[in-house]
């Protein structure tokens, strides 16, 4: 659920992880590491369903293009860094 002070987040936006509260990461052992506060990631999918808070599947990649982690976050755990045009 968004508060009036939060900008909307869309797929392909770049975000910063500001909290690990409410994060879901079901494949921790498959990737290089777990998410950390301050990580920069791209929103891969916006998850919306009636009567449920919005969620965002985000991917963080290393400089060589490999996936560091893939996790789902609530809106409150993300800060918008760069919006897609």
pLDDT single digits (tens) 46-58 = 998 888 888 999 9
Q: How far apart are the first and last CA of the chain?
A: 23
Q: How far apart are CA 42 and CA 58, in angstroms?
A: 5
| Paired sense of beta strands 55-61 and 67-74, if any | antiparallel
pTM of the model: 0.86
Mean pLDDT score across all residues of the chain = 89
């Amino acid at each position: 659920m968004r508060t009036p002070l939060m900008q909307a987040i869309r797929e392909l936006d770049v975000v910063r992880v500001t909290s690990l509260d409410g994060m879901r990461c079901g494949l921790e052992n498959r990737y290089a590491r777990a998410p950390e506060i301050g990580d920069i990631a791209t929103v891969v999918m916006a998850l919306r369903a009636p009567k449920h808070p919005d969620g965002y599947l985000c991917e963080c990649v290393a400089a060589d293009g490999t996936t560091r982690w893939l996790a789902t976050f609530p809106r409150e755990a993300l800060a918008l860094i760069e919006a897609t045009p």
